[in-house]
Amino acid sequence: MEVKAIARYKRISPQKVRLVLGRVKGKPIDFGLNSLSFMPQKAAGILEKLVRSAAANAEQKGLDIDELYIKNIYVDQGPALKRFRPRARGRATRILKKTSHITVVLAEKAV
C-alpha cells in the first residue's frame, strides 16, 4: 500500500530541491529522516517535515512505519512570483521568485 504527502507553493526553487531529494529516494524511512536532519540545505528541512507527514499519514492508515521506504519523491515547479528590480538609466530587470510543489510517496517493502 502506498501513502503520500504533498507540499504546495513552497518558496524554494525546484532545482535546489532536486539536489537534496536524490540522496533519500528509494531508502528506508528512518535512514532518510536521519540523513535529512544533518543536511545544511533549506530543502532538507522542508523534505524532512514532508516525510514525517507522510509517515503520520501511513500510521493513520494502520501501516507499520518500520516497514516503509521512500518509494518516490518528486518536485514540480509552481507559479513564480514576478518582481522588478530598478536598474541604471530608468530601466528595470525582472526577478522570478520560484515556488515548488513537492510530493513524497511511501510504500511498504515487498516481502
State mean pLDDT over 105-110.
Answer: 89
Q: Cα 104 vs. chain centroid, distance in angstroms? A: 7
Give the SS3 label for residue 91. Answer: coil
Q: In whole angstroms, what is the distance from residue 41 CA to residue 67 CA?
A: 27
Calculate the average pLDDT of the chain: 95
Residues 6+ apart with CB under 8 A from 45: 36
State mean pLDDT over 81-105.
Answer: 97
Tens of pLDDT, residues 14-60? 999 999 999 999 999 999 999 999 999 999 999 999 999 999 999 99
- Does the structure show a pLDDT above 70 at 72? yes
Q: How do beta strands 100-108 and 81-86 pair?
A: unpaired
> Model confidence at 111, in pLDDT bands (50, 70, 90)?
low
26 conformational bin, left if phi > 0, alpha if psi -120 to 50, beta if neither: left
The highest-level CATH class for domain 2-108 is alpha beta
> Model confidence at 2, in pLDDT bands (50, 70, 90)?
very high
Distance set, CA 104 to CA 74, 85, 96 (Å): 7, 35, 26
The three cell numbers of residue 108 are: 511498504
